[in-house]
């Protein structure tokens, strides 16, 4: 069950982790299942855990005053979800995180993750790499949201995450791209021609 996490750590740390150290890591995580539609986090709560996804998929989204959902992140196997602002500042979250499919995750508190990072150089390195990747992905998403047309945003998504297009409902994909479901449907048809 923890093998995916171990592979992730070693990939992101560019280093092996000893069995003894990995035993410490395992102890800090809680295994949990989420049924499709079940919430890991609801708006207004303080986010307690980062979740490493073993199986399934999740999304982080806000709901505006008109009741419209805005998906800001998707998470699939070997990705993390969690509202980092709420996790680190201990403020009530503006976001919801729910399971798009039946999912299995490993949960860890920020405190435990930080402690592991201080204690084990491998985890420290993994956290550094995660921060860098996160920042790079965020910068790209900001850039694309501000500078690309809806059509080009769709094409970027198709290029970088073709699996998303198969896996997630069109309404969620449209929301992730910041466009209406109608626009999404039109662009998709045109792109598939």
Interface with its own copies by CB under 8 A: which residues? 62, 64, 68, 70, 72, 84-85, 88-89, 94, 131-132, 134-136, 138-143, 145-147, 175-178
Of 106 and 177, the one with the shorter C-beta distance to its own copies is 177
* CB 114 to its own copies: min, Å: 8
* CB 2 to its own copies: min, Å: 26
* CB 55 to its own copies: min, Å: 25
Q: What does the buried/exposed string (b/e) look like for 112-146 if buried means 16 or more CB atoms within 10 Å of the residue's CB?
A: bbeebbeebebbebbbeebeeeeeeeeeeeeebee
Q: What is the CA radius of gyration of the chain?
A: 18
Q: Residue 171: CB partners within 8 Å, gap ≥ 6?
A: 181
* CB 97 to its own copies: min, Å: 13
Q: Which of 119, 120, 188 is nearest to 154 (CA)?
A: 188
The count of C-alpha atoms lying within 13 angstroms of the C-alpha of 130, restricted to the half-sphere facing its C-beta, is: 20
Of 33 and 143, the one with the shorter C-beta distance to its own copies is 143
Q: Which residue has the tokens 């993390």?
A: 80
Of 27 and 94, the one with the shorter C-beta distance to its own copies is 94
Of 83 and 104, the one with the shorter C-beta distance to its own copies is 83
* CB 142 to its own copies: min, Å: 5
Give the 3-state secondary structure of residue 27: helix
Of 141 and 186, the one with the shorter C-beta distance to its own copies is 141
């Amino acid at each position: 069950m923890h093998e995916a996490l171990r592979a992730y750590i070693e990939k992101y740390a560019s280093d092996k982790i000893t069995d003894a150290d990995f035993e410490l890591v395992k102890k800090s995580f809680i295994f949990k299942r989420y049924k499709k539609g079940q919430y890991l986090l609801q708006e207004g709560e303080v986010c307690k855990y980062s979740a490493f996804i073993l199986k399934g998929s999740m999304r982080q989204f806000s709901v505006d005053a008109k009741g419209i959902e805005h998906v800001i992140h998707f998470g699939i196997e070997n990705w993390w979800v969690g509202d980092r602002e709420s996790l680190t500042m201990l403020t009530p979250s503006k976001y919801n995180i729910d399971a798009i499919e039946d999912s299995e995750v490993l949960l860890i508190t920020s405190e435990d993750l930080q402690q592991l990072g201080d204690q084990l150089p491998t985890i420290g390195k993994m956290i550094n790499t995660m921060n860098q990747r996160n920042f790079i992905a965020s910068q790209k998403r900001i850039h694309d949201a501000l500078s690309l047309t809806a059509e080009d945003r769709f094409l970027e998504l198709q290029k970088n995450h073709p699996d998303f297009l198969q896996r997630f409902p069109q309404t969620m994909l449209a929301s992730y791209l910041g466009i209406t479901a109608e626009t999404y449907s039109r662009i998709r048809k045109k792109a598939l021609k």
